[in-house]
A and B are shown apart, each in its own frame.
Chain A
Amino acid sequence: MTTLAYTLSDSRVMLRRNLKHQLRYPSMTVMLVGLPIVLLLLFVYVFGGQLGAGLGAHEGRSAYLDYVVPGLLLITLASVVQGTSIMVAMDMTGGIIDRFRTMAIARASVLTGHVLGSLIQTLAGIGILIGVALGIGFHSSAGPLHWFAAIGILALFAVALIWLAVALGLAAKSVETASNTPMILLLLLFLSSGFVQTQTMPGGLRQFAEYQPFTPVADTVRGLLTNAAVGDHAIAAIAWSIGIAVVAYLWAIHLYNTRRAAEPN
């Protein structure tokens, strides 16, 4: 086998390990995928009546449902990557990482296994959430191509957030820290156009909301699903995704190569 073949083979083995972990640790998987569904129901049935009243032309709960689904798809991403951080930190603080390091395997395969596993988990989470949303009356005028593009944008952004979560998991000194730091992503998401229109926010906050990565991604997905123009939002969303992915990837690889599992003695 060639080096490339070994790299692919090792990454596949690590992916399988990661997927098995997800099955063996179902409480976490269910929690991470379930949280967005609970929030969806909460936002639509508890807050939706009032929040929908402010949407302008098409008012009401069902209009808010159509508005908020992209925000909850992003919640799914933020929620899954929290699990990524935890899994990476569990690996790095346990003894098994030293075993991998003393074996002649493709160095990055440990990380690519986590990334691919989390991506699959994200796509599954997105699928489940869209199913529930459709079930409670989400209406989309998008054709198959637009759906495909929307999921593509989400997947690209997911890759960026997953690498960021991998880096955060590698940087964390403990599993507890690793489970807390990705919370910042949830906060960022609430300060974006995911749940309310940015023009309803006060000045400074509005500016922040308009220039942070979650807003263009939410707007692009919303635009694609409602058959509206996406324009610059899509370019900004793709640029943010690639930018975050590259920086987080380099950071993660650097941490992986320099950080050791807990030193004994």
Chain B
Amino acid sequence: MMTGQTGTPEIVARDVCKSFGSHLVLDKVNLTADEGTILALLGPNGAGKTTIVRILSTLIPADSGSMHIADRDVVTNPDGVRAVIGVTGQFSAVDNLLTGAENLRLMADLRHLGREAGQRRVAELLEQFDLTDAAEKLLSTYSGGMRRRLDLAMTLVGEPRVIFLDEPTNGLDPRSRLTMWQIVRELVSAGVTILLTTQNLDEADQLANRIAVLDRGRIVAEGTPAELKSRIPGGHVRLHFAGPDLLRSAAELLPAAAPDEDQLALQVPADGTGDSLRELLDELHEARIAVERLSIHTPDLDDVFLAVTGSHVTGSLVTGRPDEDLAPQGAAQR
């Protein structure tokens, strides 16, 4: 297994375009993942996540653009790429008429590991994925979570340097999801590079070193989870008042804030620092407006996701070229 020279890009995609018929699915997509890191590709259904995974894993050709996996060209050297990658797709890629151990054995044979090394690797993976007890059972008796674990174990038989995981926890129960996350973390700490697609913001936040947000075939934001969150102006302080009069006075004092008459609350944009908070409270104190209680909300990836994929978007988040759909409006002024 590779050990971490971080900084070397293992997955590089430049200006990748793909159309199905007249439908443009990927529009000049750029992606980079350094060795030993996780790049999460975040986006709604139909954004093109699976398509980019299928292109990078040599399943379908791109219309244009250049792609390299571990310095091997996806277009001119697909077998070179196949030798170093592992792919776990959305649909389980297991053989239902074989047992768990036979499935792994099949992979070991196709990776030409040899009898002894193959058997050792199979036993190791059964143990690691907690499938030893079910090893001799047919796949038809496996639960969804076991099936997904076996699927990933099959991907790992050849000890790939680069792994593509297309929505690996989709449809898993919370416990299986945590197990999967743990496995992914272990892989990365061993130096493997992972491209993970997900619709789950929490998953991207938990696992990824960098996140690229894909929307309708374009990368609309890219950065570390912290960077993305800091760029979104979704942070606010929520002030609660004892009565409607106080709320009204406070709203007059703070014109940028959004009052909520039903809850007797006022939502004030704020970055959450101590100084800004003190300033805000001082201002209210001088105007003799008593605040019953307050809560601070820092932006999470939900805000980022909605901001960059929905219509409420700020200009600052947009990477690359400007776009009419992403014109500054809404969220920034709120």
What residues of chain A have their CB less than 8 Å away from a CB belonging to chain B? 1, 6, 9-10, 13, 17, 20-21, 24-25, 94-96, 98-105, 260, 262, 264-265
Closest A residue to B51 by beta carbon equals A265
Task: Check B94 against A20 for contact (C-beta < 8 Å).
Answer: no
Q: Does B315 interact with chain A (Cβ within 8 Å)?
A: no
CB-contact partner of B46 in A6, A105, A265, under 8 A: A265
14 further A-B contacts with Cβ under 8 Å, apart from A17-B106, A94-B96, are A9-B109, A9-B112, A13-B110, A24-B97, A24-B98, A99-B89, A99-B93, A102-B58, A102-B59, A103-B82, A104-B79, A105-B110, A260-B59, A265-B51
A96 CA to B50 CA in the complex, in Å? Answer: 16
CB-contact partner of B95 in A9, A10, A96, A101, under 8 A: A96
CB-contact partner of B93 in A6, A98, A105, under 8 A: A98
Q: How many B residues, CB 8 Å from partner?
A: 37
Output the least CB separation between B116 and chain A (Å). 16
Known: A102-B58, A102-B87, A264-B90. A21 touches B97 (CB 8 A): yes
A13 CA to B112 CA in the complex, in Å? Answer: 10
CB-CB < 8 A to B79: which residues of A?
104
Task: Check A25 against B51 for contact (C-beta < 8 Å).
Answer: no
Task: Check A95 against B92 for contact (C-beta < 8 Å).
Answer: yes
User: Can you report 24 A-B residue pairs in the complex whose CB atoms are below 8 A from each other?
Assistant: A17-B95, A20-B102, A24-B98, A25-B97, A94-B91, A95-B92, A96-B95, A98-B59, A98-B87, A98-B89, A99-B89, A99-B155, A100-B110, A102-B57, A102-B59, A102-B86, A103-B82, A103-B107, A103-B158, A104-B82, A260-B60, A262-B91, A264-B90, A265-B46
Task: Check B111 against A17 for contact (C-beta < 8 Å).
Answer: no
Q: Does B195 interact with chain A (Cβ within 8 Å)?
A: no
Known: A102-B57, A102-B82, A265-B45. A95 touches B91 (CB 8 A): yes
What residues of chain B have their CB less than 8 Å away from a CB belonging to chain A? 45-46, 48, 50-51, 57-60, 79-80, 82-83, 85-87, 89-98, 102, 106-107, 109-112, 138, 154-155, 158
Closest A residue to B140 by beta carbon equals A24
Q: Which 6 A-B pairs rank lowest in CB-CB distance, beginning with the nearest?
A: A95-B93, A95-B91, A99-B93, A104-B82, A24-B97, A13-B109
A102 CA to B158 CA in the complex, in Å? Answer: 12
Closest B residue to A5 by beta carbon equals B112
Output the least CB separation between B223 and chain A (Å). 25
How many A-B residue pairs lie within 8 Å, measured between CB atoms?
72
Output the least CB separation between A90 and chain B (Å). 9
Task: Check B90 against A13 for contact (C-beta < 8 Å).
Answer: no
Dominant secondary structure of chain B at its interface with chain A: loop
Output the least CB separation between A99 and chain B (Å). 4
A20 CA to B101 CA in the complex, in Å? Answer: 13
Closest B residue to A109 by beta carbon equals B110
Task: Check B87 against A99 for contact (C-beta < 8 Å).
Answer: yes
Output the least CB separation between A120 and chain B (Å). 17
A239 CA to B96 CA in the complex, in Å? Answer: 39
A66 CA to B307 CA in the complex, in Å? Answer: 80
CB-contact partner of A101 in B58, B86, B158, under 8 A: B58
Output the least CB separation between B168 and chain A (Å). 13
Task: Check B60 against A95 for contact (C-beta < 8 Å).
Answer: no
CB-contact partner of A10 in B86, B91, B110, B155, under 8 A: B110
A94 CA to B87 CA in the complex, in Å? Answer: 15
Task: Check A99 against B154 for contact (C-beta < 8 Å).
Answer: yes
Closest B residue to A87 by beta carbon equals B97
A12 CA to B93 CA in the complex, in Å? Answer: 20
Task: Check B98 against A17 for contact (C-beta < 8 Å).
Answer: yes
A210 CA to B107 CA in the complex, in Å? Answer: 48
Closest A residue to B80 by beta carbon equals A104
Task: Check A95 against B58 for contact (C-beta < 8 Å).
Answer: no
Task: Check A24 against B138 for contact (C-beta < 8 Å).
Answer: yes
A95 CA to B50 CA in the complex, in Å? Answer: 14
CB-CB < 8 A to B83: which residues of A?
104
Output the least CB separation between B94 and chain A (Å). 7
A1 CA to B113 CA in the complex, in Å? Answer: 12
A95 CA to B95 CA in the complex, in Å? Answer: 9
Output the least CB separation between B72 and chain A (Å). 11
A35 CA to B154 CA in the complex, in Å? Answer: 37
Residue from A21, A25, A99, A265 having most chain B Cβ neighbours under 10 A: A99
